[in-house]
Amino acid sequence: ESDVAGDLESVLLSEEQLGRRLDEIAEQIDRDYAGQDLLLVGVLKGAVMVMADLARRLGHPVEMDWMAVSSYGSGTKSSGVVRILKDLDADLTGRNVLIVEDIIDSGLTLSWLLSNLRSRGPASVEIAAMLRKPDAAKTDVDVRYVGFDIPNEFVVGYGLDYAEKYRNLPFVATLAAHVYSV
Ligand code: PRP
Ligand code: MN
Ligand code: MG
């Protein structure tokens, strides 16, 4: 019905580029957590692709859990006030937690999530994010693993949506202006 290719401007990161970077990050994580407990926490829905692709690259045994959060209130973009739509099943007491995210934009979602998860008594909480926009640097979110820093453009694919579409693209692309300027 709709032609997805016509909605895209250009491919910013190919499937191969994403995969190669994940190989490197997985190797780092295996090293950093060697011999230790590790719980991956994916943030729905955007993180599904990176969670699946990162987790299957790890030699390290991990548990995987999920959280769904939503920016609270009127806003178009994160207000910094976040509502939990689905909480974790796991008890974080004494656990090493690695939050897995698709993108850090303003950083507000993650900075809220960090303090929320840290209040639950974990041994550690770190962040792995596939993409980071320069604006995120404005917040004090300390990210241990970053895939790529990208320009401040609207991107979709590899978990990232525009109005819930394009998440299933295996690459990251910029969206053509005509799609969101109507
Ligand atoms: C997107 C993205 C991150 C967050 C980043 O999620 O997946 O979770 O926004 O934005 P921030 O750094 O400005 O807080 P979204 O709220 O769109 O939900 P989704 O993952 O279900 O698409
Ligand atoms: Mn998200
Ligand atoms: Mg979204």
List per-residue pLDDT tens for the chain, 182 residues long: 567 889 999 999 999 999 999 999 999 999 999 999 999 999 999 999 999 999 999 999 999 999 999 876 554 555 667 899 999 999 999 999 999 999 999 898 999 999 999 999 999 999 999 999 987 777 778 999 999 999 999 999 999 999 999 999 999 999 998 998 86
158 C-alpha to ligand 1 centroid (Å): 13
pLDDT value at residue 138: 72
181 DSSP assignment: -
**Both tokens of residue 11?**
């491919």
pLDDT value at residue 13: 98
pLDDT value at residue 139: 75
pTM for the full predicted model: 0.94
Distance, in Å, from the CA atom of 142 to the CA atom of 114, rounded to the nearest integer, reads: 9
Instruction: Confirm if 50 and 149 have CB atoms less than 8 A apart.
Output: no
The number of the ligand 1 atom at minimal distance from the alpha carbon of 167 is 22
Our mutation pick for probing the ligand 1 site, out of 109, 133, 160, counting the most ligand atoms within 8 A of Cβ, is 109
Ligand 1 contact via 45 beta carbon (within 6 Å)? yes
Q: Is 157 helix (H, G, I), strand (E, B) or coil?
A: strand
Neighbours of ion ligand 2 (CB under 5 A): 46
Tell me, what's the ipTM? 0.98
pLDDT value at residue 80: 66
| Sign of the CA dihedral running 115, 137, 181, 163 | negative
pLDDT value at residue 57: 98
Give the CATH class of 4-73+82-176: alpha beta
**Both tokens of residue 106?**
């303003």
Active site residue 135: no
The conformational region for residue 166 under phi > 0 = left, psi -120 to 50 = alpha, else beta, is: left
pLDDT value at residue 72: 63
Ligand 1 contact via 175 beta carbon (within 6 Å)? no
44 C-alpha to ligand 2 centroid (Å): 6
Ligand number nearest CA of 131 is 1
124 C-alpha to ligand 2 centroid (Å): 22
Q: Which of these, 149, 117, 119, lies nearest to 132 by C-alpha position? A: 149
Phi, psi at 38, each rounded to 5°: -150, 125
70 C-alpha to ligand 2 centroid (Å): 8
